[in-house]
Amino acid sequence: MELLIDNRQEEIKIDEEIIKIVKEVVNECLNLEGKNKNYEISISFVNDEEIRILNRDFRGKDKPTDVLSFPMEDDEEVTDYTPILGDIVISAPTAIRQAKEYGHSIKREIAYLTAHSMFHLMGYDHKTEDEKKIMRTKEKQVMRKLGIFREE
């Protein structure tokens, strides 16, 4: 697995602990789906203004959001390069606000946003109640498996 981390914000220090938890979450999401680890995934940490622009341009919603997922449609059958699963963009300021709102750590919030986005990259959505239930169950499985709970 090739995980590319791009930090374009100053609100959260993206240290080894954050990188470690992101890698663990990505790995566990792939495990849960029975996927191999031969993927490239990029995770960018941005500010609210940058994610607002991306949200406007790609989703038609001119407001900040917590996380955006950009799945790639790569050919997994080609073996001479690492297939790209997609890109994840996390808003650091929104993650900080949500962590405070929900009463847990920023580490837990980043882990959850990473899991949420990974399932989007793998084709899941939450447009209907049934889809939402499936996706939330998978997110909870990953968080539980890694021992990351809201109380942190």
pLDDT of residue 83: 87
44 within a domain of the structure (yes/no): yes
138 vs 4, 6, 115, 133, 147, CA distance in Å?
A: 23, 26, 9, 9, 14
- End-to-end Cα, the chain, rounded Å: 28
Residue 120 annotated as part of some ligand binding site: yes
> Where does the chain have alpha helices with state H?
16-32, 48-59, 92-102, 106-121, 129-146
104 annotated to a ligand binding site: no
pLDDT value of residue 73? 67
The pLDDT, as a whole number, for residue 150 is: 66
* 152 inside domain: no
Domain presence at residue 13: yes
Q: Is residue 134 part of a domain?
A: yes
The total number of structural domains that make up the chain: 1
- Residue 43 maps to a domain: yes
pLDDT computed for residue 79 by the predictor: 59
87 in a structural domain? yes
What's this model's pTM, rounded to 2 decimal places? 0.93
Residues of the chain short of pLDDT 70, as ranges, are 73-80, 150-152
Q: Does residue 151 belong to any structural domain of this protein?
A: no
**Using an 8 Å Cβ cutoff, are 27 and 41 in contact?**
no
What domain range includes position 100?
Answer: 2-146
Residue 135 is encoded by which pair of tokens? 């996706």
Taking CA 137 as the corner, what is the angle to CA 134 and CA 140, rounded to the nearest 5 degrees? Answer: 150
Q: Determine, yes or no, domain membership for 116.
A: yes
Q: Cα separation of 111 and 61, whole Å?
A: 24
Residues 54, 69: Cα–Cα separation, whole Å: 11
Instruction: Give phi and psi for 67, each to the nearest 5.
Output: -150, 145
Question: Could you tell me the CATH number of the domain that includes residue 122?
Answer: 3.40.390.30
pLDDT of residue 152: 41
